A and B are shown apart, each in its own frame.
Chain A
Amino acid sequence: MSASVGARRGSRWLPEIIVALLLLGLPFGFEAAFDTVDLLSRILVWGLFGIGFDLLFGYSGLLSFGQAAFFGTGGFVTAYLLTSHALTNVWLGMLAGVVAAMLFSLLVGYLALRRVGLYFAMITLAFAQLSYFVEDSPLAHWTGGENGLPGVPPPAIDIGPLTVSFSSGWGIYALIATLFFLGYVLARFIVRSPVGAVLTGIRQNADRTAALGHSVAGYKLSVFVLAAAYAGLAGVLLGIFQSYMPPDAFSVDTSGQLVFQTVIGGVGTLLGPAIGAAVWLFLRDELQQIPGVGSLWMFILGAVFVLLVTLLRKGLYGTLAALWESRIAAPVPQPEPRARAAVRLHPTTAQPTPPSAAGAAATPALEALMVSKHFGGVRAVSDVALTVPTGEIYAVIGPNGAGKTTFLRLLSGEMTPTSGHILLRGHDITGHSVTAINRAGIAKSYQINQLFNDLTCRQNLRIAALGRHRGTLRFDVFRAADSIPAVEQSIAGVIDELGLNATADLPVATLPYGEKRRIELGLALATLPSVLLLDEPLAGLSPGERQDVIRLIRRLAEGRTIVLVEHDMDAVFALAARIMVMHQGRPLAEGAPAEIRRHPEVRRAYLGGLKAHAHA
């Protein structure tokens, strides 16, 4: 993904053109070298299978070890429908196979995606085994059990009086290459689209992506089903290509081979799996010719795989592409100067019908009614209430462990209170998800930076801004993520506001801490919240940076409500209109800064905390 697509729009279609030319030219090379294009057809079937898997694993970070389930389902449903003559139209049969794979993946995904990481990998593997054993025995009558289904017919098209059949050799190659190309183009659209940006966000930090207003569960399930569609289509093509659907399409080795090829070729590259497949099939066919070494071909592949995972995690294609890019890398194009866009930063979430002035004044922006959060016997937050009118900066202070951060997590929806209610502009949002609450207009900046570290500042902010402009779940795959004017304006506004213009197109992992801290705030800001929750925004900043951020917070408070948790007392007393002091999960006092300063219990419990503890 290019950070500066605007400057390189001319190269937008270059990868597609190169792939198309390769698909046209390569078969002649294969024909010359091997007397057949079948090897290339086989590589492309695995490559197509891998494009879907790469969207799932490379882009979204979901490592499935069970893609064989969908490869097999697609292949066998089509093979059964066509060999049993339940369907005579081969195209319809192919479509049915893909749809069946997608439906099955909907069920598997619903169950497997409840868990992440290792669990997800193990569960998908187990489901693939389940389908393998179901194919093998209970459904043997339909699937041929361990014999598989021979005689899968190729499709054909009628052109006038002429019938072109996509059977063996060049015919089937034409079909497979066309579908591979279409699959590649679609995947390219997806990874460049807002959907691709969100999927990348999910891979790098799923919790933050959810907190920025995206339906993480929805996108995960969608990409899982999409990957299954690719797998199903590849399975269908395998059956047609071989005129035979083998039962080992369902086997764990199939899923393993896919993982192998994708990692060897390069994850997150779309073409990597095809290159991995070429390596795999070439080594299998060629190494086996060499006496003494032949039976070691899988061992050698395994060693290459381990080496690549250990040292070159980007795989062959990814590593080469990275080298190439670093060689030709032009100086980062300076973003064109933009007008200061502070106006656009302001919340756009005013109620559809503005209430009367009196009503607006009467309804506080944010209310917490006797909110509690208990973990077993630990009362982290007990009976805390607060009412913050629109436009106020409200600070929550207290010693470490007082429950401030937990309280903020309750307000942001990351946790559900054990009891009590939270109202946003009079609407009860208690128990709503963090995503829904962000959509309603509450955003939080975290105590510990929660950034998308491999992306640039601009790409980080884009993930945040996209949520506001596209809703929680949307499949706008045919537009580029950076092509939505309102989103780009929001991003430019935030970058201006935070003074990040110089580093906006550098990966955030390379930036100094102070800038990361500002981007952390910017992520919350780019969702255009009406209520901003700031968890220790000054933590770790230098005195100079603190002054900048304090000024920034003051600016942000215009037309926006802010709840601030902070240990820097000078900042709190300078910024806040009112302050709540929390102590051991309970509110100790609330009032204007001057009152809090004088409050005897506050002085005892907090400001003079050491003394109080010494007495106790």
Chain B
Amino acid sequence: MPPTAVLLSQAFSGFAFGTLLALMSSGLTIIFGTLGFVNFAHGAMFMLGAYAAFVVLTYTHSYIAALAAGALVLLVVAVVLERGLLRFFYTRPPEDQLLVTFGLSVMLIEGMRFFFGSDSQRVSPPPWGDGIVDFWGVFYYPLYRVEAIGIAAAFLLALYLLLYHTSVGLMVRAGIEDRLMVGLLGIDVRRMFLLVFAVGAMAAGVAGVIFAPLSAVIPDMGTPFLIQAFVVVVIGGLGSFGGAIVGGILVGELLSLTTAFNPDYSQASIYLAMTLVLVLRPRGLFGAVGRI
């Protein structure tokens, strides 16, 4: 049994990673819930956010500007992709939607590799993120990581308010329940799809910005994150906002706590958890019956 301090530190670390994963997964899940397709390019969008942070922080040192840039870049990318290509895929089989977003993901990753190379870029945390937090002398933690939790949580809260406390959100949630009916009620489903895709993509982009100072920024950085987000939504229930948050934190904690015991099994543990959920509760913890 590892010392309590290590466990506490790892638990905290898992929570930090989990909130970011939750932000990423919530984007994936609302896109799926509304548009009915899994965005395979979500990991590449996360990576775009991280590169936006890299460029903006390198030149301006303004974290707020980096967040804005990350969101803006993804807004533009999402609008171009949705209007230019993806909307033609709404009536095609799910496999085609998967394939086309997979292809787009490769293009985004390789495009970034062309401009920035394969070398990893370092992004330093903002000045107000420099420092160490002393948790009652039990463990110490880099300040930015603590702040990252707050920032990610703030965006999750904003997403929650948008979805659950605005009339647009009501339409989106109604669309998740019954797309056809929402259309029949005279709501412009096309605009709603665009909006949801953009919001979902921006969630991935913002997660990328927040994550950039915590890791090496490379073109492939989104892929493992995407697959972990898949695990999150399978565990939480595809299409469920609450499931994405609970699943995200659960997966973050699993990754982190198993590392304290035996890092060899850390990555494998989340896939085992997913297997258990599939066997015991195939629709996920919060998934609705009958939706896929």
Query: For residue B106, which residues in chain A have a CB less than 8 angstroms away from its CB?
Result: 256, 260, 298-299, 301-302, 305
CB distance from A266 to the nearest CB of B (A): 13
> 1/0 per position for B264-283, CB-CB distance to A under 8 A?
11011001101100110010
A252 touches B234 (CB 8 A): no
* Residues in A neighbouring B107, C-beta threshold 8 A: 299, 302-303, 306
CA distance A129 to B234 in the complex (A): 15
Q: Which residues of A contact B113 (CB under 8 A)?
A: 295, 298-299
Is A142 in contact with chain B by the CB < 8 A criterion? no
Residues of B near A63 (CB, < 8 A) are: 95, 98-99
CB of B231 to closest CB in A, whole Å: 6
Binary contact readout B105-118 vs A (1 if CB under 8 angstroms, 0 otherwise): 01101110110000
List the A residue with the shortest CB-CB distance to B227.
A129
Nearest Cβ distance between residue B241 and chain A, in whole angstroms? 18
Contacts of B139 in A (CB 8 A): none
A89 proximal to B (CB < 8 A): no
Bound complex: CA A57 to CA B102 (Å):
16
Contacts of B110 in A (CB 8 A): 296, 298-299, 302
Q: Which listed residue, B109, B231, B278, touches A114 by the CB 8 Å rule?
A: B278
CB within 8 Å of B: which of A108-148? 111, 114-119, 121-123, 125-127, 129-130, 133-134, 137-138, 140
Q: Please give the distance in Å from A124's CB to the nearest CB on chain B.
A: 11
Contact between B263 and A309 (Cβ–Cβ < 8 Å)? no
Bound Cα distance A303, B113 (Å):
15
Closest to A297 in B: B110
A133 touches B267 (CB 8 A): yes
Q: Does B128 contact A (CB under 8 A)?
A: no
Cα-based distance from A305 to B98 in the complex (angstroms): 12
**A126 with B100: CB separation less than 8 A:** no
Which residue of chain B is the closest to A108 with respect to CB atoms? B275
Tell me which of B37, B99, B233, B268 contacts A309 (CB under 8 A). B99
Can you name the residue of chain A whose Cβ is closest to the Cβ of B282?
A: A114
Note all chain A residues with C-beta closer than 8 A to B292. 115-119
The distance from the CB of A176 to the nearest CB of chain B, in whole angstroms, is 27
Interface bits B87-125 vs A (CB < 8 Å: 1, else 0): 010000011101110111011011101100000000000
B156 within 8 A of A: no
Is there an interface contact between A256 and B271, defined as CB atoms closer than 8 Å? no
Q: Is the CB of B263 within 8 A of A137?
A: yes
Size of A's binding interface in residues, CB under 8 A: 41
Bound CA span A578–B110, Å: 69
Given the known inter-chain contacts A114-B282, A309-B103, A310-B85, please indicate yes or no for A295 contacting B234, CB distance below 8 A.
no
Q: Quick one: which of A118, A130, A259 contacts B271, CB cutoff 8 A?
A: A130
Any B CB within 8 A of the CB of A263 = yes
Q: In whole angstroms, how far apart are the Cα atoms of A140 and B263 in the complex?
A: 13
Chain A residue, CB-CB nearest to B274? A126
**Complex Cα–Cα for A183 and B56 (A):** 53
Query: A61 near B: Cβ within 8 Å?
Result: yes
Are the CB atoms of B223 and A310 closer together than 8 Å? Answer: no
Instruction: Give Cα distance in the complex from A309 to B103, angstroms.
Output: 9
Does A313 count as interface, using CB distance less than 8 angstroms? yes
B230 CB-CB contact with A under 8 Å: yes
Select B88's contact among A65, A111, A252, A310, beta carbons within 8 Å: A310
- On whether A306 and B230 interact (CB within 8 A), knowing A111-B278, A133-B267, the answer reads no
27 residue pairs from A and B, CB less than 8 Å apart: A61-B95, A65-B98, A115-B292, A116-B292, A117-B94, A118-B32, A118-B238, A118-B292, A121-B95, A122-B230, A123-B278, A125-B230, A126-B231, A130-B271, A130-B272, A137-B264, A138-B265, A259-B102, A260-B103, A260-B106, A298-B110, A302-B104, A302-B106, A302-B110, A306-B103, A309-B100, A310-B88
Besides A111-B278, A126-B231, 18 more A-B contacts (Cβ < 8 Å) are A57-B95, A63-B99, A114-B278, A118-B94, A122-B38, A122-B230, A122-B233, A123-B274, A126-B274, A137-B263, A140-B264, A252-B227, A256-B106, A299-B110, A301-B106, A309-B99, A310-B85, A313-B96
Which residues of chain A have a CB within 8 Å of any CB of chain B? 57, 61, 63, 65, 111, 114-119, 121-123, 125-127, 129-130, 133-134, 137-138, 140, 252, 256, 259-260, 263, 295-296, 298-299, 301-303, 305-306, 309-310, 313
